[in-house]
Structures are given as C-alpha cells and as structure tokens.
C-alpha cells in the first residue's frame, strides 16, 4: 500500500531541554494514515512535551516535525494555521474556554474558520454533541459539568472542523472506567469511520490495549520500542514488561541510590 | 558565613537587567501585535469579535462609573477644602474654583481613574488570562489556529482605549461637582459665580491633555495586564502572583508616564 510507505507525521531526531534538563533526547517516530498511535511512558518522561511539539506549540532545540511532508517549524504562520485547521487536539484538562457555554465552544472553530450560516453551525454543533452523547447540554458552562463531560465536550470541539488528525493528551486520565471506555470507543470510531489519524498520549494500560494500532514506549526522552499490541505484549524488553505490568522492581527505578542517604537526611 | 564575591553581585545585577530588557521588548512586541491585529487584521477578514468588544466595554467602563464618580467627587471635596484653607489667608477663596477645575482635569481625574481601573479591571484581566493560561485554554486557542492576541487582547485593548477617556470625563465632572458643593455650601461662593469662574479658568487644552493622558494610561493598563496574564506560570499560586505584579507594575508605570507626559505638556506650553 502506498499509504503505508510514507508516514503522514514524521518526527525526526527531536531534542528539547527545559532549564538545562533534557526532556526529549532525539526522538524519532513515524505515524501512518488512519492508525491510532499510542505513545506511552511514565509520568515526566516527555510524552506531553512530544505531543506539544507535534502540534507546534513548542519549538524543538534540534530536529524536525513533518506533517504531510511540511516542516511545521519552518513554514510561515499562515501555513501553520492551515495545517492546524486540519488537526483537532484534546487537552488533558479539556481546554474549553471557561466563559463560553458548550455550544459556543464547539461553534468557535466553525465561526472562526468558515463562513457558514449560524443555522448550519447550529446543526453541526448538535451533530457533534450527539456524537459524544451530550445532546441538550449545549447551554451549560464548562464549570457546570463533570470532568468526563468536559472531556467529551472538548472532544466534540476538537472534531468540529472534521479534522484529518486528532491528538489526545491523556484522554482517560482521572475518569471512571465506564467513561474511559466511552472515550476509547469514540477514538476508535473516529479512526475507523472518519479515517482520522490519531496520536494518543497515555499511561492507562487498559486503554492502550483497547485502542492502539501501534504503540511507542517513551522512556527518559527516547523511544525505546515501537510495535503492534501483540509485539508489545510479547516484548522481551524488561523495560516494556515492567511498564505494562506495573511492576515496582525493574529497570525503571524509583529507588534512589543509598550512598549519600545519611548525609541527605541530616543535611539542611 | 558565605563569602559573597563582588563578581556574583555584578552577574546577578546583569541577569536582572537582562530579564528587565527582555520584558520590555516582549511588551513592545505585544503592542506591535495588537496594532497589527487592530489595523491590518480587519482587512484580512480577521477583525476582533464585536460582541466581545462591547462586553469588555461594559465591564471596563459602565461598571466602573460608580466607583470613579465617588472617588472623584470626594477628591473634589478635599481639594476645595485644602485649597480654601490656604487661600483664605490671602483672601482669595474665589480662586478655589479654578484650582479645583484645573487640577482635576489636568491631573487628578485621569490619574485617579487610571489607578481605579488598574486595580479593578487590570487585575481582573490578568487573573482571567492567567487562569486561562494555566488551564491550557490559551494553548487550545492556538491549536485551533485562533490567535490569542486577536481573540483576547484586542477587544480588551479597544475597550480600555475608548472607555478610559470616557471615565475620565465623568471623573472630571464629578470632581468639579465636588468642589462646587464645598464652594457653595461652605465657602459662600455664589453658585452662578462658581460656574462662571470655573469656565474662566478652565481652558479646553486642560481637558484635552487630561483625556490624552487617560488614553495612554489605558494602553499601559491593557499591555501590562495582558502581558502578565499571558505569561502566567505555576498554577493557582502563579495566577495570584501575576495579578499582584500586574497591579503594582501598572501603578508605577501610570505615575511614571504621568510625570513624563506632564513634563512634555509643561515644557511644550500645552
């Protein structure tokens, strides 16, 4: 297949430091059309930072991000905006504009980027609301609904312009298992029915194995391994095995070296 | 005891100067972007939302009227009493009329209004934009290809630019009214005479320079409040810190700008 040969999103040797700390240490990743790519890894390993580079909110110190062959850090702002109109992004906290009600939030990208009539926008908003099972809740403010609804409403906004790519930053974090399952199902639906290419950052293992076409494991700012669900499950890599099974002992260590223990305790 | 080398002092001073210069360039850049979206944006079909502008004008202007009125009228009382206290010794109480009118319109009207608005509106703008920043709302605008400067800053900029002179005009009137009340009730100046004397002393340029000042103060309040808000970091605590910094910085800059503008008007004979 032609599509399989050329990735639609390509991350090349991405390096980023914050205040002297290297967060991303030469990340390489290819994402193909229509797949659900899950990036998993422990807290603070650079997952969200990587996602923010792919959408161009953060600029890398070194390396490139190519979306359909265009280097998003080299194109002028107008071109970047054009690319972004084809991307939907679901933020960890939803990112709904807090002084606008749900309806206006979902209508916002439509009003900004299209010349559609208000009556048409209304229909689209209702359509998107019912896709996330939130019909009739358009008049509520983001602070008046629960966290799970916030995420679903944010998802409705992310897909308002029928994007080609949707990025999710921890879509199921902090949600109850049923709502998490609903969100997972939505991610799969978009990918299958609308041929959306998805990138999901998460450390929710249940969700990873439900939705992923391929999984990339990020550790200490580097991609350790990339593979399908089965490949990851049967991986010989101790790091991967420790992570997917949640074992406290292993190469990912939380125990600090004990040499200076007494000194650290008594030091002021 | 730690030994502090003079080199450390110089390098920390250097770092402070460096960060101050960067802040100034950033604010200048923000100003340029606001002007860009204000004047060039509409021709590209990217004008700021009219509804948002009106909402902000109501918030900045209409809802500040009462507090501005009270502050100005009390200042008028105080000014009339204090100047009468001095002028009585010279037998020149009638000059209270001009003194109140000129000092309110040239100086106190615009400055007090600016301080009130910086405390009420500037703080609110920083707190709102700051909490939007720390809850990923600003980033979500960017990823929707909606420029946060156009969407959030330009309406507030316009609202402050238009409403500051309007509020100052109200402050001018209320201040003079305050002086009038004291003059008529306490200093035995005939009401008609008070108005005639005020007209005699007050020149149009007094009012115009005051209104010009207030527009400049509006720009300062908006730029500082939006800059501090959009650069907030560190959660709820960061929002609090940014808000305090915004108000304090605005206050200092308003007084500084006032001194500079007054000097220009004074030496320029305006």
User: Which residues in B lie closer than 8 A to residue A97 (C-beta atoms)?
Assistant: 132, 137, 140-141
Provide the β-strand partners of residue A65. A11
Length of chain A: 268
Of the given ranges (B4-8, B71-75, B91-95, B206-210), which has the lowest mean pLDDT?
B4-8
- Say if A168 is an interface residue toward chain B (CB within 8 Å): no
The residue ranges of DSSP E strands in chain B, in sequence order, are none
Averaged pLDDT, A252-258 = 62
Q: What is the maximum alpha-carbon separation in chain A? A: 70
C-alpha distance from A239 to closest chain B C-alpha (Å): 31
A92-101, A127-136, A243-252, B132-141: the lowest-pLDDT one: A243-252
Summarised one tens digit per residue, pLDDT across range B167-189 is 999 999 999 999 999 999 998 89
CA A8 to chain B, closest CA, distance in angstroms equals 18
**By CA distance, what is A166's nearest residue in B?**
B143
**A84 in contact with B at a CB cutoff of 8 Å?**
yes
Looking at residues B45-62, what average pLDDT do you find?
A: 86
Say which residue, A240 or A106, is predicted with more confidence.
Answer: A106
Cβ pairs A/B, distance under 8 A? 50
**How confident is the model over B183-203, as a mean pLDDT?**
91
SS (H, E, C) chain A: CHHHHCCCEEEEEEEEEECCEEEEEEEEEEECCCCEEEEECCCCCCHHHHHHHHCCCCCCCEEEEEECCEECCCCCHHHHHHHHCCEEEEECCECCCCCCCHHHHHHHHHHHHCCCCHHHHHHHHHHHHHHCCCCCCCCCCHHHCCHHHHHHHHHHHHCCCCCCEEEEECCCCCCCHHHHHHHHHHHHHHHHHCCCEEEEEECCHHHHHHHCCEEEEEECCEEEEEECHHHHHCCCCHHHHHHHHCCCCCCCCCCCCCCCHHHHHHCC
Q: What pLDDT shows up at residue A258?
A: 61
The percent of residues above 90 in pLDDT, for chain B, comes to: 76
Confidence band, pLDDT 50/70/90 cuts, at residue A267 = confident
Flag whether pLDDT at B132 surpasses 90.
yes
Task: Please give, rounded to a whole number of angstroms, the shortest distance from the CA of A182 to a CA of chain B.
Answer: 23
Tell me: the pLDDT tens digits for A19-34? 888 888 888 899 998 8
Region B109-126: mean pLDDT is 96
A254 pLDDT band, cuts 50/70/90, is low
Kindly give the interhelix angle for A118-131 and A102-113, rounded to the nearest 10 degrees.
Answer: 130
CA-CA-CA-CA torsion sign (A188, A194, A197, A202): negative
B124 to chain A, minimum CA–CA distance in Å?
A: 13
Whole-number mean pLDDT of chain B? 92
Q: Which residues of chain A make contact with B144, given a CB cutoff of 8 A? A: 84-85, 108-109, 112, 157
A117-136 residue pLDDT tens: 999 999 999 999 988 888 88
Q: Which one is predicted more confidently, A6 or B254?
A: B254
Average the pLDDT over A67-83 and give the result. 88
Segments of chain A assigned to CATH 3.40.50.300: 2-86+165-178+185-266
ipTM field: 0.84
C-alpha A202: how far from its chain's center?
Answer: 7
Statement: residue B72 has pLDDT above 80:
yes
pLDDT score recorded for residue A1: 42
The predicted-structure confidence for A225-236, as pLDDT tens digits, reads as follows 888 888 888 888
Q: Do A95 and B136 touch (CB under 8 A)?
A: yes
Chain A residue with Cα closest to B133: A95
Q: Which of B136, B147, B149 to mutate to test the interface with A (most CBs of A within 10 A)?
A: B136
* Average pLDDT for chain A: 86
Is A108 at the interface with chain B, CB within 8 A? yes
Give the whole-number percent of chain B exceeding pLDDT 70. 98
> Which residues of B lie closer than 8 Å to A, measured between beta carbons?
128, 131-132, 135-137, 139-146
Q: Could you tell me which chain A residue has the CA closest to the CA of B47?
A: A112
Mean pLDDT of the region A101-126: 92
Q: Is B143 within 8 Å of A84 when comparing Cβ atoms?
A: yes
Out of A101-115, A235-249, B65-79, B242-256, pick the least confident: A235-249
Average pLDDT of the residues in B235-239:
91
| CB proximity under 8 Å: A 173-232 to B | none
- CB-CB under 8 Å, B142 with A98: no
Q: Quick one: which of B132, B126, B127, B131 has its CA closest to B148?
A: B132
The whole-angstrom separation of Cα A28 and Cα A221 is 11
* Nearest of A192, A96, A84, A87 to residue A151 by alpha carbon: A96
Say whether residue A114 is in contact with chain B using an 8 A CB cutoff. Answer: no
* Best to test chain B binding among A51, A80, A89, A141 (most B CBs inside 10 Å): A89
Report the Cα–Cα distance between both ends of chain B, in Å, rounded: 58
Average pLDDT, stretch B189-211? 92
Q: Do A96 and B131 touch (CB under 8 A)?
A: no
Give the gap in angstroms from C-alpha B259 to the nearest C-alpha of chain A.
38
| pLDDT (0 to 100) of residue B1 | 47
B143 CB neighbours in chain A (<8 A) are 55, 57, 84, 87, 89
Nearest CA to A15 out of A65, A66, A67, A60 is that of A60
| CB proximity A91 to B under 8 Å | yes
Q: Per-residue pLDDT averaged across B90-118, rounded?
A: 93
Predicted TM-score (pTM) of the model is 0.86
Range scoring the smallest mean pLDDT among A175-189, B75-89, B113-127: A175-189
Confidence of residue A2 (pLDDT cuts 50, 70, 90): very low
The alpha-carbon gap from A83 to the nearest alpha carbon of chain B, in Å, equals 9
Task: Give the mean pLDDT of B109-133.
Answer: 95
The predicted pLDDT at position A261 comes to 73
Q: Do A113 and B141 touch (CB under 8 A)?
A: no
CATH code for the part of the protein at A2-86+165-178+185-266: 3.40.50.300
* B140/A96 CB distance under 8 A: yes
Residue of A nearest to B151 (CA): A112
Contacts of A24 (CB under 8 A, 6+ apart): A14, A15, A16, A46, A49, A50, A53, A60, A221
Range name among A1-10, A61-70, A127-136, B129-138 with the lowest pLDDT average: A1-10
Query: Which residues in chain A (226-265) have CB-CB distances under 8 A to chain B?
Result: none
Residue A87 in contact with partner chain B when CB distance is under 8 A: yes
């Amino acid at each position: 297949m032609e599509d399989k040969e050329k990735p639609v999103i390509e991350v090349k040797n991405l390096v980023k430091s914050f205040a002297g700390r290297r967060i991303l240490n030469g990340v390489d990743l290819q994402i193909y059309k229509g797949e659900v790519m899950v990036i998993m890894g422990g807290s603070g390993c650079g997952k969200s930072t990587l996602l923010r580079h792919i959408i161009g909110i953060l600029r890398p110190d070194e390396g490139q991000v190519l979306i359909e062959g265009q280097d998003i850090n080299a194109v002028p702002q107008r071109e970047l905006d054009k690319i972004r109109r084809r991307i939907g992004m679901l933020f960890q906290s939803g990112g709904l504009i807090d002084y606008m009600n749900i309806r206006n939030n979902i209508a916002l990208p439509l009003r900004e980027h299209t010349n559609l009539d208000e009556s048409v926008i209304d229909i689209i908003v209702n359509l998107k609301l019912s896709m996330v099972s939130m019909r009739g809740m358009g008049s509520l403010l983001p602070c008046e609904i629960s966290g799970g609804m916030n995420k679903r409403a944010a998802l409705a906004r992310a897909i308002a312009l029928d994007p080609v790519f949707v990025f999710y930053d921890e879509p199921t974090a902090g949600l109850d298992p049923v709502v998490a399952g609903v969100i997972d199902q939505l991610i799969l639906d978009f990918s299958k029915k609308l041929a959306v290419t998805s990138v999901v950052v998460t450390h929710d293992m249940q969700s990873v194995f439900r939705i992923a076409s391929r999984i990339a494991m990020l550790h200490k700012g580097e991609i350790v391994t990339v593979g399908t669900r089965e490949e990851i499950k049967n991986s010989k890599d101790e790091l991967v095995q420790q992570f997917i099974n949640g074992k406290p002992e292993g190469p990912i260590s939380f125990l600090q070296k004990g040499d200076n223990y007494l000194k650290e305790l008594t030091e002021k | 005891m730690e030994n502090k080398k003079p080199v450390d002092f110089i390098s920390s001073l250097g770092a402070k100067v460096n960060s101050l210069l960067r802040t100034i360039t950033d604010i200048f850049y923000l100003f340029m972007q606001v002007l860009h979206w204000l004047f060039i944006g509409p021709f590209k079909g990217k004008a700021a939302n009219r509804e948002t502008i009106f909402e902000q004008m109501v918030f900045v202007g209409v809802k500040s009227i009462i507090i501005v009125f009270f502050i100005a009228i009390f200042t008028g009382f105080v000014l009339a009493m204090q100047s009468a206290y001095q002028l009585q010794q010279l037998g020149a109480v009638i000059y209270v009329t001009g003194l109140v009118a000129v000092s309110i319109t040239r100086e106190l009207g615009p400055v007090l209004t600016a301080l009130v608005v910086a405390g009420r509106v500037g703080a609110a703008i920083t707190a709102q934009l700051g909490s939007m920043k720390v809850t990923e709302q600003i980033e979500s605008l960017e990823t929707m290809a909606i420029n946060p400067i156009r969407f959030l800053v330009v309406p507030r900029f316009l609202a402050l630019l238009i409403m500051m002179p309007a509020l100052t005009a109200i402050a001018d009137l209320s201040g003079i009214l305050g002086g009038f009340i004291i003059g008529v009730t306490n200093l035995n100046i005939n009401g008609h005479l008070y108005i005639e004397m005020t007209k005699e002393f007050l020149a149009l340029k007094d009012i115009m320079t005051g209104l010009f000042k207030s527009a400049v103060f509006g720009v300062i309040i908006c730029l500082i409040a939006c800059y501090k808000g959009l650069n907030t970091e560190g959660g709820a605590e960061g929002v609090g810190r940014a808000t305090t910094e915004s108000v304090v910085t605005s206050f200092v800059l308003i007084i500084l700008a006032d001194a500079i503008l007054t000097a220009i008007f004074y030496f320029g004979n305006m």
